[in-house]
Structure 1
Amino acid sequence: MQRKPSFVAHENRWRDAVHSSQRLRDAGMQPDVFGETTSMRSFTRRLQWQHSLASLDTMRLGLKIDIVCCGTFLGCCKRQWRNSLHMLQWAGRQHLQLNTPVFGHATEACKQASLWRRASYILEAMKSKSIVPDSQSSTRAMAACDQKWQVSLTMMSNMAVLSLEVDQVTCNSALSSCARVAAWATTVSMMRFGTDQATLSTCRGACAKVAKWELPLELLDASLGLRVCPDVIDFGVTLSACEKAGHWQRSLDLIGSISKDALQPDRASFHSCMGSASWTVSLQELAVMASVLTPTVTSYNIAISTCREHWERGFSLLRTWRQGIEPDAISYNSAMAQVANWQLLMAMHCEMQEGGGAPEEATWLALAGGFRKQRRWQKALVLGRQLGLQPASVMYHAAVTSSPWAAATALSDRLCVIGSSFNLAQLSESVGPWRRALARDIAKADQLEALTSDVGAWRTAVALFASSFWQRLPPASVLPALRAASQAPWPVALAMCSPFLVEQKAYGILCDLSREGSRWQEAWQALQDFHSRSGRVDALHCSSVMRACSQWPEAVALLKSSAVVSTQLDGIAWNSLLATSSAATSWSLATSLGLCMASFGLQKDVVTCNTLLGACQHWDRALTVVFQMHETRVPVEDVACLTAIDACAQAGQVAAGERIFERFAPDMSAPVRLWSLAQLSVLTNVSAYFKDAYIYLMTKAAKPSELSKLWWASSTLGLQNVAFSRRVEQLSSSALSKFQLEELLAVSMGACTSDASTDFLLSLSEELQSRLQTLSPSSEAKTRRVLQDIMGVLWAINFAAALSPKLLRSAEQATKRLATFLDSVSQPSTVSIPSMGTDGPELCLDLADRMVITKPPGWEVYGQSQLQLLSFIQAVIGARPIHQNLEDACGFVHRLDIPSSGLILSAKTHAAYYDLQLQLVSGSILRDYLVLCHGCVSFQRHKVSARLSLIQNTTRAGGQGRASRTLLKLMSYLSHGSDSFSLLLARILTGRRHQIRSHFAFLGHPSLCDSRTLRERTTTWR
C-alpha cells in the first residue's frame, strides 16, 4: 500500500493518488514523507494545487516536511503566487535549506501573475542567502516585468555581472517588455545583438497595435540585417500600417522588396498597397497583381473606390472585369457613389438588377448622392419607394439639403404621412433660419419627443418657443420640449417655462431646473407668480423649491410666504426643509423643525428620523435619536444603525456603539451586522455573524452596497475564508459597474488584502479606468470626495499589484482636471499670519506650487499645539486657500509624529497636492526613516505587516484593522550602559497614523522616545 502512491504518480493519475492516500489513513497507516511527496507529484502536471495544499496540511500534523516536499508543492502552485510566497516564507521560518529550484518555482508563479516586484524580491532573497540566481530564475523574473522594460533591462545587466549566460530566451523576454510599451529605440538596438523568429513575431504583434507607420518599418529594416528573414506576414503588417497613414509610396517600395527577397506577395499585401495609393497607382497595382495572382471581387472593389472624382475610370473598370468574376452589390455601389450623371446612375442600377444584385440602403444612398448634385430629389424618393425601402433619416436628409424651402417642407410632410421619424433640428439646419423652419403646424407629440434625446436639442427648443408654432398646441405637448430645455442656460430655460406656468407639470420641470442650478430665488418668484395666476400651490411644488434652497434661512422664509401659508404641507415638504437644515449642520434648527411637525398634525417617519441623524454632530445625539425612534415605534432600518454606529466609532465611544448593536442587531441585515462589528473592532460572536453573512450571500441577491460592506468588514476583521472570498468576488465581478465610487473604494480595500484573483484585480483596474475618462467636476465638496476616493482605489490596486501605465495616465489626467477645478473655486485665505522666530523648521526646497520643509522634533504638522508647521509655512509664503482645507490636510502630503523629525512634502495648490498624492499612492515617492529602538532586532526581520486600528484615539497593531506594511533593514546595534538598541532603516509602504511607532511596539522593540509604551525615564533619555 505504501508504494501505490509512487506508481500512480508515475502514471500521472492524481485521482488515484488521492484515493490511495486516503485508504492508507483509513487503514490506520500513516504514509511517510517520501510517499506523500511522491503522491503530490501527480498533482504537478495538472496544477491541482487545492489537493496539494490539503495534502500539505495533513503532513504538517504528524510529519516533518523537507525541502523536496516544499519544492513539489511549489511546482503545483505555478498559478497561485500567494500560496507560493507563503510556502517560501514558511520554509524560511522552519530553517529549511532553500535551493535554486525552490526559488525558481516561486519566480514562475510571479511570472504567471506579472508581479515583477515580488519576483525581484525573490532574486534579492536568493542573494541574501548566498544563492546565485540561475538563468531560468532571472528569465522568469524578466518575463514578469511585462511593460516595465527598464526593470527588465536592469535584470539582464545584473545577469552579466553574475556571469550568467544570457541566452536567446532571456533576450526575448527583455525585447517583449520593450515592444509592449513601444520602446522602439531600445527594441531595435537590442535586436542587432541577435534575435529569432519568436522575437520578431512578438514585436510584430505589438507593431500592429501602434498607430505609427514608422515603427513597423523600423522593425522590418532591423530584421532584414539579421539572420532572421521576415515572412509575408511581417510585410503585411507594415503594409497595413502604411495604408492607414496614407503613405502609398512606402507600400510600393515594400511590394518590390517582397519580390527581391524571393517572397510571394499575397492578396492582402496588394490590397493594403492599393487602398492607400492614388487611382493611377491602384490600377497599376491591380495589373501587376493580375500577372502573379488571380484578382478577386474585393480587389476590383478597392480599385473602383480609389477612383473617386475620376468616376469614368471606375465605370470603365466595372465593364472590363476578368472572365469568371461577377460584380457584386458593393461593386456597383462603389461605382455609383462617384457618378454625377443621374441618367447613367439609372442605367447602372438597371444593370445591377439584371445581374442579380439586390438593391440595399447603400444603393439608395449612392443614387441619392447623384440626384442631389443635379437637384433631382423627387426621383430619389420615387426610386426608394420602387425599391421597397423605408426612408430613414439619412436617406431623406440628402433630399432635404438639396431642395428649396418649399420642397423641403413638402418632403417633411410626406415623411410625416408615411410614419417616418422626423427630427425638427435636421430640417432647421438644412433650410436656414429656425423661425422659418419651425413655424409650421406639426402637432405630433412623437416628433417633439425626439428633442429630449438629441444633443444640443435645447437650441431647437428655444427656436420653437420663438415661433407661433406653440400657440396652437395644448400644454401637454409642450412638456417634451421643456425637458429638452433642461440643458439650456438658466435664463433661457426660465424664459421658456414662464408662459406655461399654468400647467402644473411644466412648473414641476421648472422646480427641477432650479434645484439643479441652485437658483432658488427664481423658483420662489415663479412659485408666487403661479399662486397668483392659478390660486393653487400643492405640497410637491413647495418641497421642490425648498430642495433648491442653498441655506436653511431661505427655506424657513418660504413657510411665511403667502403662497405657502394656505398650503397644507405634507411630510415630503417638511423632510425637504429638514434636509436643507441638516446640510447647514444646524442641529438645533433641525430638532426644532422636527418638533414643529406635530403642531401641523404630522408624525415623524423613517425619512424624518434618518434626516435628523444626518444632522447629528455628536455621538450622544445620534444615540438619543435612535432610541427615540424605537420608543415611538418608527422602524430602525439599516441606514439609521449605520449612521449612529459610525458616529460612535468616529468619536471612540465603542461602548455606546455596542449598545446600539446589541439592541438592534436582530433587525439588521447580515452585511450590516458584520460591518458594525468591524467598525467597532468587536470580535464577540464574529464567527456566528460571519456564517450568517455567508448564508446571506448564498441565498439572497446581495446589493452592491452590501457587497462593499462585506469586502471592507472581512478585510478589517482579518477574516480569511476561501469559499466566502470566492463568493463575494463572483458577485462583485458581475456588478462592478453598479458600485458607487465610494463603494468601489471599499471593494478595492478588501480585495487588496484578501486572496482576490488576478482577474478580479484586473477587472477592478479596468472599471476605474473607464470611470476616470468620464469624470467631470460638480460641486466643490463632491469633487474633493471623488478625488479622495480615486486616491484610495489607486492605492489599493497598487498595494496588491503594480498600477498599469495606462491606468496611471488616465488617473493623472482626471486628477489634474478635477484638482484644477478646486483651485478655481477656492476662496482666498483670510487667516491672520502669526509671526515666527528664527529657530524652528527650515525650507529646503521652494517651487512654484510645492515645497519641502525640514520638521524638527517637538513640532506638530498641524493641529492644536503651539508649534505648528502650518503656521511656519504661512509666515514664509503667505496663507493659501488650501491651508484652510482640513479635508486636504492643509496641503501636507504626509505627517510625522511630534517627537519625530524629517522632511515634509507640502503643496501650495490643490493641483499640486493631488499630483503628489498620486505619486505617493502609485509608489513613485518612497518614504524612508531612520529609527532607533530598544532591544536587538533580529537581522532576519525584514517586514512588518500587522494591521492597525484606531480605537479611542489610540493606534493598535494586530490582526484586525487597516492593512499596513513597513519594510525594515538593520543598520547596526548600539548599547548604553546596560541598555541595548538597534538602528534600523524603515520604509513605510502605507501611511497609517502612528505606523512606525505602532509597528515597532508590536515587534517588542518600541522606538526610543515612545511615550505611549515606555516609562518616563526612558522617554527622556538623551
Structure 2
Amino acid sequence: MQVLSIMMQHRVQANVFHYSSVISAGSQRGQWQLAFYLLSNMFVTTIVPDTVCCSAAITACEKGGQWQLAVSLLSTMPELRAIPDDIAYNAAISALEKGGQWQLALGLLSDMPHLRMTPSHFSFGAAISACEKGCRWELALSLLWGMPEMKLGPERICYNAAISACGNGGQWQLALGLLCGMLELELRPDEISYNAAISACEKGGQWQLALSLLSKMPDMRAIPGEISYSVAMSACSKGGQWQLACLLLEQLPSQNITLDEHGSTNDLVLQRLLHLGHAPSEEEVREVMSVELERWRQNPKPATVVLGGLAKKGLPSVAEQVLRFMMASRVEVNVFHCSAAISACEKTGQWQLALSLLSNMPDMGVMPHEFCCSSAISACEKGGQWQLALSLLSSMPEMRLIPDVVSYSAAISASEKGGQWQMALGLLSSMPDMKVIPNEISYNAAIGACSKGGQWQLALRLLSSMPDAGLVQDEISCNAASSACSQGGPWQLALNILSCMPEMRVIPNTISCNAAISACEKGGISWR
C-alpha cells in the first residue's frame, strides 16, 4: 500500500496489476476495508477492476467475516465485466459458511456447474461446513455422497465437516460410520476427525464409545489434544462416570495439556456438584472440590464459573457450602463469588440465606457491592419479605453503596407483592432525586402495585406517562393497567387498552384478553 501511495504521489501511473497485488496482500489478513477503498479508488482513476482484483476483495471479506459484502461484490462482477471464477465463488461460499448462511452457500455451489466452473474439494468442504452450522446433517451427507458425480475423490476436510454435522444433529451412529468409512477409503482420520466423532458420542450420551475413540487416537497417529480430552471428560461427567473423568483429568499433565480456566475442569466440577442434588453433605462437597482445590488457590477466577453455574440452577445451599469450603481451604474469596452465591438464593427466594451471606461478607474480607445487595433485595421480594427488602434498600448508603435501578426495581416489586402500593409509588417517585432513572421494570412493578391496590386511575396515569419518560409500554404494563380497570374502573377503559395495544406494537396475550372479558362481565356485557 505504501508503494502504491508513493507511485500516486509521484504521478507514476498505476495499473490493474499494481492494485491487484496490493488487494491480494491485504486479503490474507482480512483487510476488507482496504480492499473496498482500493476498488473505489480504481474507478476514480478510470482503472477497471479485473477478476483477480474482485476475487481478492471477496477473499478479504471472507477473512473479515463480511459475508454480505462478499456476496454483493460477487453479484456485481458481471457489471464490471469481470468474469467470476472458482476462486471468487469458493471465497464467497466460505464467507457464507462463516456467516451461517447455508442456503446461500448451497445456492452458489449449485450455480458453479452452470457457469462452467467445477466445484473443488474446498467448495464442497465449505458448503458441508455451512450445513453443519445450520444443523442440516441430511444435506451435509447428500453433498458428501454427491462428490463422486463431480469426479471428486474422498477428502479428509469434507469427511470431517460431515462428521461434525452428524454429531451436531444427534446422529452419533452416522458420525462413527463416516469415521470408519474414512479408514476403508484409506483416508487416515486426523485429530479433527476424532474430535468430531468423540463430540458426537458425547452429545449422544455414549461415554464408552467416546473413551474408546480417545484411546485409539495414538494408534492412528492422531495426537489427542485439549479438545479431545475436554469432550471425553464431558461425556464421562454427563454419564455419571466421575471417577473416569477425574482419571482423564489426572492424565493431562503427562500429556502436556493444560485446560483453560473456563474449560472442562470447571464443567466437570459443576456437573458433579449438580449431581449431588439440593442438599448434599459437607463430605460430598469436599470430595468434589478436592479435584480443583490447588488450581483455585493459584487462580480463584474459575470458582466464579462454578458458583455462577450453581446460581443458574438455583442451588444456593450448595453454593454456600462451596464458599465455606473455599474459606476453610484458604482459597481467596472475592465479591464475584459471593454475588454468585447470593444470586442463587435470589432465584429460589431463600431470603434468609441471602441475608446471611451478605452479612458475612465482611468476615470473609469482602466488601459488599451494589449487585450483591440488589440480589439480596430480590431474594426478599421473591420470599414475600417486603419489609426486609425496603430495610436493606435504605441501609445501602450506610454500607457506602449507592442504590441503582436494579435495587429500586426489586424493592418496588417487593412492595407490589406485599400489597403496598403507596410504598411502591413513593419509591418510584424518589428515584430521580437519587439520580436513578426508572426503567420499564420499575414502572411495571409500580403499575402492578396500583392494580393490586385497586388504584386504576394511578395505574393508567403511570402507563400513559411511560412514553414521556422514554420507556416502551409492553404487555406486562398494559396487562397490569387493564387488570386494574377490570377490577375497579370503567370496563370501557379495559377494552380501550386492549384495542390500543397493536398501536403500541404490543401483542395481546391470554392475560390481556381475560382482563377485557372480566371487565365486560362486570359491566354487564355478554362476551361472544
TM-score range, shorter chain: 0.5 to 0.7
What is aligned with 1:382? Answer: 359
Partner SS, residue 395 of structure 1:
helix
| Pair 516,300 (structure 1): closer, same or farther in 2 beyond 3 Å | closer
Conserved? CA contact 1:172–1:195, under 8 Å: no
**How many Å separate the matches in 1 of 2:287 and 2:323?**
16
**How many Å separate the matches in 2 of 1:244 and 1:189?**
24
1:45 and 2:21 equivalent? yes
**How many Å separate the matches in 2 of 1:448 and 1:513?**
32
What is aligned with 1:305? Answer: 270
| Pair 389,511 (structure 1): closer, same or farther in 2 beyond 3 Å | same
Which AA in structure 2 matches 1:256? S
| Pair 367,274 (structure 1): closer, same or farther in 2 beyond 3 Å | farther
| Pair 21,517 (structure 1): closer, same or farther in 2 beyond 3 Å | closer
Conserved? CA contact 2:378–2:411, under 8 Å: no
| Pair 16,339 (structure 1): closer, same or farther in 2 beyond 3 Å | closer
Which AA in structure 2 matches 1:272? V
Higher helix share: 2
1:146 and 2:115 equivalent? no
Q: In the TM superposition, what are the counterparts of 1:754-765 in structure 2 within 5 Å?
A: none
1:305 Cα offset (Å): 1.2
| Pair 398,248 (structure 1): closer, same or farther in 2 beyond 3 Å | farther
Aligned mate of 1:275, from 230, 234, 237: 234
Q: In the TM superposition, what are the counterparts of 1:618-1017 in structure 2 within 5 Å?
A: none
Conserved? CA contact 1:279–1:303, under 8 Å: no
Aligned mate of 1:185, from 122, 137, 141: 141
Conserved? CA contact 1:283–1:303, under 8 Å: no
**How many Å separate the matches in 2 of 1:777 and 1:372?**
30
**How many Å separate the matches in 2 of 1:397 and 1:219?**
51
1:394 and 2:354 equivalent? no
Which AA in structure 2 matches 1:444? G
1:410 and 2:388 equivalent? yes
**How many Å separate the matches in 1 of 2:201 and 2:303?**
27
> TM-score if structure 1 supplies the norm length?
0.32
What is aligned with 2:447? Answer: 461
| Pair 315,438 (structure 1): closer, same or farther in 2 beyond 3 Å | same
Conserved? CA contact 1:14–1:42, under 8 Å: no
What is aligned with 1:423? Answer: 410
Conserved? CA contact 2:421–2:450, under 8 Å: yes
Q: What percent of counterpart residues are identical? A: 12
| Pair 253,313 (structure 1): closer, same or farther in 2 beyond 3 Å | farther
What is aligned with 2:255? Answer: 293
What is aligned with 2:188? Answer: 229
Deviations 1:424-468 (A, max 9, x none): 675379xxxx5x54367455242798986139937x735534437
Partner SS, residue 358 of structure 1:
coil
Q: In the TM superposition, what are the counterparts of 1:153-172 in structure 2 within 5 Å?
A: 170-172=120-122
1:248 Cα offset (Å): 4.0
Partner SS, residue 315 of structure 1:
helix
Deviations 1:510-563 (A, max 9, x none): 9999598369xxxxxxxxxxxxxxxxxxxxxxxxxxxx9xxxxxxxxxxxxxxx
Aligned mate of 2:213, from 254, 261, 267: 254
Aligned mate of 1:517, from 499, 512, 515: 499
Conserved? CA contact 1:243–1:272, under 8 Å: yes
| Pair 350,286 (structure 1): closer, same or farther in 2 beyond 3 Å | closer
Deviations 1:245-273 (A, max 9, x none): 65545533432342442433223322222
**How many Å separate the matches in 1 of 2:123 and 2:343?**
56
Deviations 1:599-653 (A, max 9, x none): xxxxxxxxxxxxxxxxxxxxxxxxxxxxxxxxxxxxxxxxxxxxxxxxxxxxxxx
Which AA in structure 2 matches 1:361? F
**How many Å separate the matches in 2 of 1:20 and 1:341?**
73
Deviations 1:259-310 (A, max 9, x none): 4424332233222222343474233132134234366665543332121243
1:85 and 2:85 equivalent? no
Conserved? CA contact 1:149–1:174, under 8 Å: no
Partner SS, residue 195 of structure 1:
coil
Conserved? CA contact 1:232–1:264, under 8 Å: yes
1:488 and 2:476 equivalent? no
What is aligned with 1:319? Answer: 290
1:190 Cα offset (Å): 4.1
Conserved? CA contact 1:361–1:389, under 8 Å: no
**How many Å separate the matches in 2 of 1:83 and 1:388?**
60
**How many Å separate the matches in 1 of 2:6 and 2:186?**
45
| Pair 252,188 (structure 1): closer, same or farther in 2 beyond 3 Å | farther
Partner SS, residue 223 of structure 1:
helix
| Pair 113,465 (structure 1): closer, same or farther in 2 beyond 3 Å | same
1:148 Cα offset (Å): 1.8
**How many Å separate the matches in 2 of 1:73 and 1:342?**
63
Which AA in structure 1 matches 2:367? G
**How many Å separate the matches in 1 of 2:321 and 2:498?**
58
**How many Å separate the matches in 1 of 2:158 and 2:229?**
26
Which stretches in structure 1 are left out of the alignment for 5+ residues?
1-10, 23-38, 58-69, 89-102, 116-143, 160-165, 500-509, 520-547, 549-774, 779-1022
Deviations 1:373-400 (A, max 9, x none): 7954542341246532133433343455
**How many Å separate the matches in 2 of 1:199 and 1:385?**
58
**How many Å separate the matches in 2 of 1:110 and 1:262?**
35
1:45 Cα offset (Å): 3.4
Partner SS, residue 146 of structure 1:
helix
Deviations 1:969-1011 (A, max 9, x none): xxxxxxxxxxxxxxxxxxxxxxxxxxxxxxxxxxxxxxxxxxx
What is aligned with 1:438? Answer: 420
> TM-score if structure 2 supplies the norm length?
0.56
481-490 or 296-305: which moved more? 481-490
Rg comparison, structure with higher value: 1
1:186 Cα offset (Å): 1.3
Partner SS, residue 408 of structure 2:
coil
Which stretches in structure 2 are left out of the alignment for 5+ residues?
24-37, 58-72, 94-102, 397-402, 432-436, 466-472, 509-528
Aligned mate of 1:358, from 326, 329, 333: 333
**How many Å separate the matches in 1 of 2:500 and 2:268?**
60
Which AA in structure 2 matches 1:350? M
Higher strand share: 1
**How many Å separate the matches in 2 of 1:74 and 1:238?**
40
Which AA in structure 2 matches 1:45? S
How many residue pairs are counted as aligned between the two chains? 407
Conserved? CA contact 2:424–2:449, under 8 Å: no
1:421 Cα offset (Å): 1.9
Deviations 1:181-215 (A, max 9, x none): 3412213324676233454566578779x565647
Which AA in structure 1 matches 2:450? L
1:176 and 2:126 equivalent? yes
Deviations 1:651-688 (A, max 9, x none): xxxxxxxxxxxxxxxxxxxxxxxxxxxxxxxxxxxxxx
Conserved? CA contact 1:176–1:203, under 8 Å: no
**How many Å separate the matches in 2 of 1:343 and 1:51?**
63
Conserved? CA contact 2:183–2:189, under 8 Å: yes
**How many Å separate the matches in 1 of 2:317 and 2:507?**
50
Conserved? CA contact 2:483–2:494, under 8 Å: no
**How many Å separate the matches in 1 of 2:170 and 2:321?**
41
Q: In the TM superposition, what are the counterparts of 1:573-592 in structure 2 within 5 Å?
A: none
**How many Å separate the matches in 1 of 2:507 and 2:323?**
55
> CA RMSD for the aligned pairs?
5.6
Partner SS, residue 265 of structure 1:
coil
**How many Å separate the matches in 1 of 2:463 and 2:500?**
22
**How many Å separate the matches in 2 of 1:261 and 1:227?**
12
**How many Å separate the matches in 2 of 1:190 and 1:269?**
30
